[in-house]
Structures are given as C-alpha cells and as structure tokens.
Structure 1
C-alpha cells in the first residue's frame, strides 16, 4: 500500500508500539528495583510484545474512529493495553498446549526452563518454566488493567468502556476453558468447534475491541449491533484461517513447525470438517494420529492429504468466504464514519487473506 495511505493496522502500530515501549520502560525499572532476578522476566515480555499483528488494538482504534472519536494519543494507549491481554492469553495457551515455539522462537515457558538449566538451579526446569510462565501471564493481565486505567482518557469514557473491556477478558478465559474441555473429551462436531471459536477468538479478536472503541467514544449502544454483525463472522473467519495455517502453513511464515496443531491434537474446525466427511477407516486412523507429539513428517503429510481429499479443507475455505462476505455486508451502513468503514473493509483482508 502507498506509504501516504497506510494500511489500517500500520496506521495504528506506531502509537501502540510507542505506548507499550514507554509502559515497559517504567515497569522494567520497577521490576529491577524489586530484584535483579526479574530482568529475564522483562526480557521474555519484551520478546512477546515485540511480535504480533496488533489486530486487537487496530479494531479498538477503528471502532473509536468509526464512532466519531478524534485522532488523539490517548486512544492509542488504551488500545495498546489489549496487547497485554493478548500476551497473557498466548503465554497461558502455550503452557496449556505444551507448545515449544511461539513466533519462531521458544515459547515463554521453554525460555524460562532454559534459564533454569543454564543457572544450574535445583528442581525440575520444565516445572519451573511452566510456573514462571503462568506468573508472567498473570502479570500481563494485571498490566492490561493498569495501562487501560492510566491511558489518559477521561473517567467518563473509561467507565463507558468498562463493560466491553471486562467482557472481553471474561470471554477469552471462558473460551480457553471450553477449548480445554473439547480437547479432553475428544470433541469432533462442527458445532463444538464453532462455539470455542466464537468465544476464544471471534468475540475477543474483533467484536469486543470494536465495542470497546465505540464505548470509549460514547456510542456503544448505537454501534454495538453493527459491530457485532461485522465482528463475529470476521473473528470466526480469522481463527479459521489461523487453523488452516496451523496445518498447511509455511513454518517460516507461521513461526511454528509444520503440522504442529496436529501434534498438539487441537480440535479445530478443520479437524471436525475432515472427520465428518472422511471414510470410517481413514477417520479412525486420523483420530489415532491426532495429538501424537511424536507425529512423523510422513504422518503429517498423510493427515494433510486426508483433510484435502475428504473435502474438509474446501469446506473450511468456503466458510471463510461466507463469513467474510457477511462481515463485508455489515459495513453497508452510514452509522460508521466513512474513513473507518474503509479501514474496516481493509481489515477483512488483513485478518483472513494470509498466505500459506
């Protein structure tokens, strides 16, 4: 895109990055005063916050602008607080899934386990890494609240935003719990996969950040239905694209080993669509392989081939098209400011049209 006309994410990223850097600089000094042992904690957080697409702050910002909010630095700071919530969710998710990597580097619990090993401490490095990561995730959740409250927006605006801000945090935790349950009971239905996606990703990634932006600008009640009609289908499409990439994505692009979602046994819509279409013998073999941490490259290739041959992949791609069409149709309204409406249309592509 022309630098004079930046993408809706890149238009927001500098303010978000600057707000996060300032916040972390002050917290790094505080943590160092508590004890030098906390320096690696801040290093791990810096790594986590440096990556990411900044989608949630972007949706919050454009929700604000769509509601007529002015282009002021305070909204960038309030939106940036959502990156701490995202960091919390990712750190905890990696512990739950026992993931090795995040964005092409060791996951936080692996990073802290390596610190334990290098330091020659007593006890189990893996257990230390998991415990430390849980605490770092909790710290991110606390700092999300702190950064939001200290964003500089007026008290009336912050109170108005409290509803969607609180619901966003509640729903993502509830969605994560539902995801864990489906993993444990071997959920295979499309309905179960969609319910997890609805709460763990769709509402959390798109709908609630938009609601928050509109609420901060004083137009939540008017715009919430519009942003829901746009945000929920787009959020599902975003997660579904992520799930497809989790199976077929290029590790250089995804930052995770090829087929890692299959090794972790994630009960995604890709899996549900495949099992609902595959022949019984193939489905049984797929179930046996799913969740095997030692899954070979050959087995990954066979599972990918079945996902394609069964029609599971095509069904997911069709769903992505259908959901993005619904999101696009929801923007056909004069209730959203024109500049924001154009940005939200571009965000449909940014969220779903990622390369494999």
Structure 2
C-alpha cells in the first residue's frame, strides 16, 4: 500500500474478525485529527496574502467543525477493516475525502434548497448573504452569499479529489462512480421537484442514487478495494443499497414530522418545495387533498394531514423491510462473523437514528 490512500496489494488479505468498536473509534479519531490539520493548513495558505481568499476554506472548515454523523468515512473504514485491511495502513485520507465530498454536496444542496440552517448554524450562503447586508456592500446580498457557497462547495470537492489522488485504478473508478451517481441523484431531485408527480418508483430511485449508494454502498466498497478485496462488492452493494434507502426515507420522515432544534436543520422543506419523496408520492396517489397542498406549498397543513396516518405507517414499514434486507445480505457472506454483527447493529443505528 502506498501512503495512506492505498493502492491494491498484489496479495489478497484474509478478512479479519471485528476486534470491537474501539478499533473503529480509534481510526475515526485519526480522521478527525486529519481533517482539522489539513483544513488548518489550507486556511493558513490562502490567508497569508489576503484574508478574502481564505473565505471558502474557512467556510469548509467551519462546516466540518460543526459536527455531523460522519457516516461515510465510518462505512469506508468498516469496509476496509472487515476486508482484512491492516490498521497500520489505514486509508485515513480516503475517509477524509468522503467527508469533504459530503460537505461539498451539503453546501451546494443548501443553495439549491434555499435552506438557512445546517448543523445548528447558518448555512454558508445564508451567513455570507447576511454579512453582505450588514456591511452595506455593493450588489445583491443573496447573489453574494450563493457565490461564496458555490466556491466553498467546489473547494471541498477539490480537497476530496486531492486526498484521493494516488489510489489504484479500481479505487479511482469506484470514486468516479460515486461522484457521478451523487450528481445524477441531485439532478433528478431538482427536476422532480419542478414537476411534482406521485411516482413512488422515481422517489425510490432518487433515494438510491442520492443516499443508498453514496452513503453506504460505495464507501464500504471503497474500503474493501483499498484493502485489496474485490469479492466483497456484491454483499456491500446489497447491504448498502437497502440501508441507504432506509436512511434517506428516515431523513424524509424527519423533514416531514421532526423538530428543527433536534435535527439542526430546517424541517418541512420537502413539503414546501414539493420534492418527490416516497412519503409524498404515496400520499398524493391516495389523497387528492395532498396534491392540492403540495402545489400550494402549505407545509404545516400537509404535516397535520399526514402525521400518524396510513402513508406514514407504510413508509415506516418499508424502512423495517429495508433494514431486514440489509441484515439478510450479511448472513452467509464472506464477512467475518464479528463484522456481520457490527454491520447489522449499524443498520439499526442508521435507519432508526439510534445512538
């Protein structure tokens, strides 16, 4: 393995059994330390001549420092260790890259959604639009804030690619597939919101591209590839796509019925924009009043109509089935028993937001 991004070794290591969550926690601490030091260097590099050039790097740093679930780096490291990767050659840079790619997606997504909160703090575009207004600068405050956010998102994307440089061809191809699916899912999401339709199949496909592959499946597979294992791709695909869809459906329910204080971001956003979520697709198909409320953007009446109803229950039931499907994919696989148990437990934490 070269550096800590890793290239595929000539010999295939045997999958090691899980040594417990402590090992994974220790590796995640390396990811956190790596992100802090990498972004501190970048802020210093761009601030030396003129602090204005460091604004995008500062925005990325602040969003990373604000926290987050770190699901993608965690799944990458889980895939790496489950595939027999040595802790002495941990692909920390690849795990960092996944988190920074996620930050890029969040910053751009917040612009597209016109969201004003993320991780319990102002979004990048909202923060900088406010600074522009407060300082009485020339031009349009909204345009200025969105410009800074676009640049910050692009910079996070560039950081992610930099951290993934030097990997094997197999890893690079998987990385390319992940990024392409992320963009395609976002594009479908934007278009579907512009032409709302009660298409449950489309909602599931968007969830698969936006979350199923990007959050769980591809990170696990990247980890296995960094450990030199190609044979684990099928089990990670079956597990990851089921669990990733469950994760996205839970996000849809949190947006519909959750509390902004607990989630750290605005709720009822999907209702207001008429996004094609499975919840809304099923509801529009079964109740004409739902379509009327969606077209008017009446978020609160829509929440009251759907909360605790049959459609809500159907989405919860689908999450249950997806979790069982993810767990079933692990049984009988080539993964060590300890990692089967660890990933089965992770399915509950991710789908039901258990601590």
Question: TM-score, structure 1 length as denominator?
Answer: 0.88
Match of 1:209 among 219, 231, 234: 219
Q: Which residue does the alignment assign to 2:335?
A: 336
Instruction: Give the direction of change, closer, same or farther, for the CA distance of 1:21–1:320 in structure 2 (3 Å limit).
Output: same
**Displacement after TM superposition at 1:135 (Å):** 1.1
CA distance in 2, matches of 1:59, 1:309: 32
Match of 1:255 among 264, 279, 283: 264
Match of 2:294 among 246, 268, 287: 287
Q: Which residue does the alignment assign to 2:60?
A: 45
**Displacement after TM superposition at 1:9 (Å):** 6.8
Q: Is the 8 A contact 1:8 1:344 kept in 2?
A: no
Q: Is the 8 A contact 2:243 2:322 kept in 1?
A: yes
Q: Which residue does the alignment assign to 1:312?
A: 311
Match of 1:225 among 228, 234, 243: 234
Once the two structures are superposed, residues 78-104 of structure 1 have per-residue CA deviations (whole angstroms, 9 ceiling, x without a partner) of 211101100110111111111111122
CA distance in 1, matches of 2:177, 2:338: 27
What is the CA RMSD across the aligned residues, in angstroms? 2.0
Please list, as runs of the form range in 1=range in 2, the aligned pairs for 1:135-284 lying within 5 A after superposition: 135-149=151-165, 158-220=168-230, 222-278=231-287, 280=288, 282-284=289-291
Q: Which residue does the alignment assign to 2:9?
A: none
**Displacement after TM superposition at 1:327 (Å):** 0.1
Q: Give SS of 1:134's match.
A: helix
CA distance in 2, matches of 1:29, 1:73: 28
Q: Give SS of 2:221's match.
A: helix
Once the two structures are superposed, residues 208-247 of structure 1 have per-residue CA deviations (whole angstroms, 9 ceiling, x without a partner) of 1011011111112x11111111000000000000110011
Q: Is the 8 A contact 1:68 1:337 kept in 2?
A: no
Q: Is the 8 A contact 1:8 1:343 kept in 2?
A: no
Match of 1:19 among 34, 41, 44: 34
Please list, as runs of the form range in 1=range in 2, the aligned pairs for 1:21-36 lying within 5 A after superposition: 21-36=36-51
**Displacement after TM superposition at 1:312 (Å):** 1.1
Of the structure 1 ranges 264-273 and 314-323, higher mean CA displacement relative to structure 2 is found in 264-273
Match of 1:59 among 68, 75, 82: 75
Q: Is the 8 A contact 1:241 1:320 kept in 2?
A: yes
CA distance in 1, matches of 2:246, 2:291: 28
Instruction: Give the direction of change, closer, same or farther, for the CA distance of 1:268–1:7 in structure 2 (3 Å limit).
Output: farther
Once the two structures are superposed, residues 248-306 of structure 1 have per-residue CA deviations (whole angstroms, 9 ceiling, x without a partner) of 1122211124423322332211111211222x2x23432333xx3xx5xxx51x31232
CA distance in 2, matches of 1:72, 1:182: 46
Once the two structures are superposed, residues 56-94 of structure 1 have per-residue CA deviations (whole angstroms, 9 ceiling, x without a partner) of 001111111111111136412221110110011011111
Q: For structure 1, which runs of at least 5 residues remain unmatched after alignment?
A: 150-154
Q: Which residue does the alignment assign to 1:105?
A: 121
CA distance in 1, matches of 2:190, 2:146: 17
Instruction: Give the direction of change, closer, same or farther, for the CA distance of 1:78–1:72 in structure 2 (3 Å limit).
Output: farther
Q: Is the 8 A contact 2:271 2:294 kept in 1?
A: no
Q: Is the 8 A contact 1:243 1:270 kept in 2?
A: yes
Q: Which residue does the alignment assign to 1:152?
A: none
Q: For structure 2, which runs of at least 5 residues remain unmatched after alignment?
A: 1-18
Q: Give SS of 1:72's match.
A: helix
CA distance in 1, matches of 2:315, 2:238: 20
**Displacement after TM superposition at 1:49 (Å):** 0.9
Q: Which residue does the alignment assign to 2:103?
A: 87
Instruction: Give the direction of change, closer, same or farther, for the CA distance of 1:12–1:252 in structure 2 (3 Å limit).
Output: farther
